[in-house]
Chains A and B, each alone.
Chain A
Amino acid sequence: MHLMYFTEQPMSTYPADKGLEFGATALMFSNRYFDPVDGSRLYNEFLEQYLYAEEVGIDGIMLNEHHNAPFCMQAKANIFAAILAGMTEKVKIVMLGNPLPLSENPVRLAEELAMIDMISKGRLVSGFVRGGGQEQLAAGVNPAYNRERFEEAHDLIVRAWTETGPFRFEGRHYQNRVVNPWAVPLQKPYPRVWVPGVISRETIVWAAEQRYPYIALNTSIADTKKIWQTYDDVALEAGYEAGPENRGYLIQVHVSDNEEKAIENARQFRWMQGEFTGLAHPVWSTPSGYSSPRNRRAFVEFAAGRRANPRGQTSFEQQMEDLRIIAGTPDTVVPKLRRILEETRPGILALWGNDGTVSQEDSMTCIRMIGTEVFPAIREIAKELDLKSPFEAEAPVSIRYSTDLKAPAAAAE
C-alpha cells in the first residue's frame, strides 16, 4: 500500500462573498481578490505541511495544479515538485498531475520532470491529466483537441524519456524536429505514470490500455466499483489482470484528536460553495468539445439550467454518509477507511487532509495523526487484504514493459 498526503493548496483568504456575488469562482473571477501577501504565507505553510508529512512517515506527497481559481494555489505543480525534490529525502513526489494538453512543448515538460527525478534521486511519480475545462481557456488551448493533445503529448514525453536522441517527432498537434533533451529520468525505463480522473470513461480506458494505475478522485464507493469494472475489462482485453496495484483512490479525510472539531474542520471540504472545484460556470467548466460526446446532452441541459450538474452535487451530510468525506479521531476514521479498502481494494491511497480555512495548527495535527496513527493501521489492513502498491507488486511501468501479457496488445491492433 502506498499512502499519500494531499492538499489542494487553497487560497483560503479570498473573499467568498465576492465569489458568490460574481456567481463563479474560476476563470473570470477577478484576480484582484488574490492577495500575494497571504499567498506568500500560505505557500510557505503548505511547504511546512509537506516536510512534516515526510517527517511523520507518510510515503508520498500528491501534487496537482489548477489555474485562475482560489480553490488551488498551485499554478505549476513542477515548482513544488522541484522544491520537494531538493528538500525531502524519502517521500515519493507524486504529481497528479501535469495537464499535458496545456503544454505547447511537451519536450520541455519531459526535461523538467527528468530534472525533478534526478534531483530527488528517483522519487518522481509523473501523473498526467487533461486539465479542467476552464483551464483550456485560461491557457488559450483548444478544448476540442484536448484528448488528442493529451495522448500525443504523452507519447512524445515517453519517447523523449526512453529513446536515444536526436530524433524527429511529427504529430498532429506537436511537431518537434529535433528531440534530444540533455536531461533524462534517473528511473528506468521511466518514472511511474499514474492517471487521476473523475467521470471520463475515455480516460479510464486509456489508463487501462497503458497499464497505468488510475486514481479515482473522491468518487463514491459505487462509482469507484464501476470505474474498476471498466478498467478490469479493458485490462483483460489488453492481456493482463488488473489488481490493487492498478488502483488508486483519493478521499477527503480530516483527522483530529477530537471528534467534534474533526467534523467542524471537515465542513471546510465544502468551503467552495460545496463544489469540488469551486462555484463553476457550467459553460466555462465544460467548453464545447472538451467532454465526451456521450455527455453532451446532459451538459448542455445543465448549462441552460434545465437539469442538475452531471458531475453531481450532494450535501456535506450525504457525503459523510457515503464515506466520500471522513472525519474523526483515528479510532473512528480507520474502520471507515477499512470499509473502503475492503470494497474497492486500492493499492494507492491519498488522504486529502484539510481544506479551506482549516488552521495551520489543525492541519499539522491532522498530518501528524495520519502519519503516526492512521497510516500504520492502514498498512496492517493492507497486508491483511493483500493490497500491494505498484512498488510492492513490482508492477511494470506500462504495458510496453510488461512481460506477463496473455495476449500481446499488438495483436489486438
Chain B
Amino acid sequence: MAGGCGDYWQETGVAGVPVRYCRCGTGSPVLILHHDIGCPDRADFAEALSGSRDVLMPVHPGFGLGSERAEWMRSVRDLAVLYRGLLAKLGIGRATLVGLGFGGWVAAEMASMAPADVDRLVLVGAMGLQPREGFILDQALVGYIDYAEAFFKDPAAFDAVYGREPTNDQLEAWDICREMCFRIAWKPYMYSQTLAPLLGSVTAPALVVHGADDGVVPADCAAQYAAALPNARLETVADCGHAVALERPEALARLVQDFIGE
C-alpha cells in the first residue's frame, strides 16, 4: 500500500451503515482505529505494519466527507459494538486492536466488551478515561486548524500530513468529524465514566503509548490505562505530540511490531 490506501478500499454494511475500510497485507489481523479528526490519506504507520500483518483500517462512519453517519449512534460504545460487528462479518475472531487517540477509546471499549477476542491491545494517546489532572483538550473551543495542529509537537509534521494551508475540503471534513464527536462523546466530553472498571477483564497483553509532548490528552490517561489493564506496559515516545502515528510513524511501528512479535 505504498503511498496510502489507494486501491485497498473496500466497503461493507454494518448496523445499517456502509463502513469503508482499507485492508492490506497478510498475517494475523490488526485493526487500526483512527483519531477524532478523521482518517488522513497518509498511512505510513499502517503501511509499515502491513508488511507482516493483515491490516484493517476503517473510517469511523460519519467521520469525513462522503462517510455516511449512523443516525442512531449515541455513544462511543455504540461505535465499538459496530466494529465488533464488522470483525464478525469479515470472519475475524481474534484481532490485535490498535487505537489512536479517540480510536484508542474505541479500542479499549472493544477490548472490554469481548476480552477473549483480543489478541493484543495497543492504545496510543487514548482518550476515554477522565484525567485526574488537567483535561482532554476541548475542540469545541478552538478552530479546526488549531485543533489539528495541537496534535503535533513539530509544526512541520502537521504540514507533512495536511499541508501548510489545509484545503477547504479538509476543513469541511474536520467539521463533519467534530459534529460526529459531539453526537457520541459530548457529555462527559471524550471520556466514559464506566470504562475504567471494565478494563480489569482485559488480560491480553497491552501496550500503552503516549507522546511525551501530547497537548490533547494528559499523560495521566495513559498512566490510568496502564494501571487498569492487568497485563499492560507503558511506553513514552520522546519528542512527539498526540498524533504519534502521524508524527513518528516509524517509531510507533517499531514499538508495535516488537510488541506483537513478543
Which chain A residues have a beta carbon within 8 Å of chain B's beta carbons? 28, 137, 140, 142-145, 282-284, 287-289, 296-297, 299-301, 303-304, 306
Given the known interface contacts A288-B182, A289-B182, the answer about A283 and B141 at a Cβ–Cβ threshold of 8 Å is yes
A301 contacts B168, C-beta separation under 8 Å: yes
In the bound assembly, the distance between CA atoms of A296 and B172 in angstroms comes to 7
A284 contacts B141, C-beta separation under 8 Å: yes
**Interface residue ranges of B143-191 to A (CB < 8 Å):** 143-145, 168, 171-172, 174-176, 178-179, 181-183, 186-187
A145 contacts B172, C-beta separation under 8 Å: no
Which chain B residues have a beta carbon within 8 Å of chain A's beta carbons? 140-145, 168, 171-172, 174-176, 178-179, 181-183, 186-187
Contacting residues, chain B, for A145 (C-beta < 8 A): 183
B141 contacts A300, C-beta separation under 8 Å: no
A306 contacts B142, C-beta separation under 8 Å: no
Interface residues of chain A: helix, strand, loop or mixed (majority)? helix
Given the known interface contacts A288-B175, A288-B178, A306-B168, the answer about A300 and B183 at a Cβ–Cβ threshold of 8 Å is no
Q: Which 9 A-B residue pairs are closest in the complex by CB-CB distance?
A: A289-B179, A288-B178, A288-B179, A144-B182, A300-B171, A142-B186, A144-B183, A300-B175, A288-B175
A28: nearest chain-B partner, CB-CB: B141
Could you give 10 example pairs across A and B, Cβ below 8 Å? Answer: A28-B141, A142-B183, A143-B182, A144-B179, A284-B140, A288-B140, A289-B182, A301-B168, A303-B171, A304-B144
A304 contacts B143, C-beta separation under 8 Å: yes
Contacting residues, chain A, for B178 (C-beta < 8 A): 288-289
Contacting residues, chain A, for B141 (C-beta < 8 A): 28, 137, 283-284
Smallest CB separation, A135 vs chain B (Å): 13
Contacting residues, chain A, for B142 (C-beta < 8 A): 283
A142: nearest chain-B partner, CB-CB: B186
B174: nearest chain-A partner, CB-CB: A300
B173: nearest chain-A partner, CB-CB: A300
In the bound assembly, the distance between CA atoms of A282 and B171 in angstroms comes to 14
Contacting residues, chain B, for A140 (C-beta < 8 A): 187
Interface residues of chain B: helix, strand, loop or mixed (majority)? helix
Contacting residues, chain B, for A284 (C-beta < 8 A): 140-141
A301 contacts B171, C-beta separation under 8 Å: yes
In the bound assembly, the distance between CA atoms of A145 and B184 in angstroms comes to 11
Smallest CB separation, A37 vs chain B (Å): 30
Instruction: State which of B140, B144, B187 has its C-beta within 8 Å of the C-beta of A303.
Output: B144
In the bound assembly, the distance between CA atoms of A299 and B187 in angstroms comes to 24
Smallest CB separation, A181 vs chain B (Å): 27
A287 contacts B168, C-beta separation under 8 Å: no
Given contacts A287-B182, A296-B175, 14 further A-B contacts (CB under 8 A): A140-B187, A143-B182, A144-B183, A145-B183, A282-B143, A283-B142, A287-B140, A288-B182, A300-B144, A300-B168, A300-B171, A303-B171, A304-B143, A306-B168
Smallest CB separation, A42 vs chain B (Å): 29
Contacting residues, chain B, for A300 (C-beta < 8 A): 144, 168, 171-172, 174-175
B168 contacts A289, C-beta separation under 8 Å: no
Contacting residues, chain A, for B144 (C-beta < 8 A): 283, 300, 303-304
A297 contacts B172, C-beta separation under 8 Å: yes
In the bound assembly, the distance between CA atoms of A145 and B181 in angstroms comes to 12
Contacting residues, chain B, for A287 (C-beta < 8 A): 140, 182
Contacting residues, chain B, for A28 (C-beta < 8 A): 141
In the bound assembly, the distance between CA atoms of A301 and B175 in angstroms comes to 11
Contacting residues, chain B, for A299 (C-beta < 8 A): 175
B189: nearest chain-A partner, CB-CB: A140
B182 contacts A297, C-beta separation under 8 Å: no
Smallest CB separation, A56 vs chain B (Å): 45
Residue of B174, B178, B187 with most partner-chain A CB within 10 A: B178
Contacting residues, chain B, for A297 (C-beta < 8 A): 168, 172
Residue of A287, A303, A304 with most partner-chain B CB within 10 A: A304
Contacting residues, chain A, for B168 (C-beta < 8 A): 297, 300-301, 304, 306
B171 contacts A304, C-beta separation under 8 Å: yes
Smallest CB separation, B14 vs chain A (Å): 22
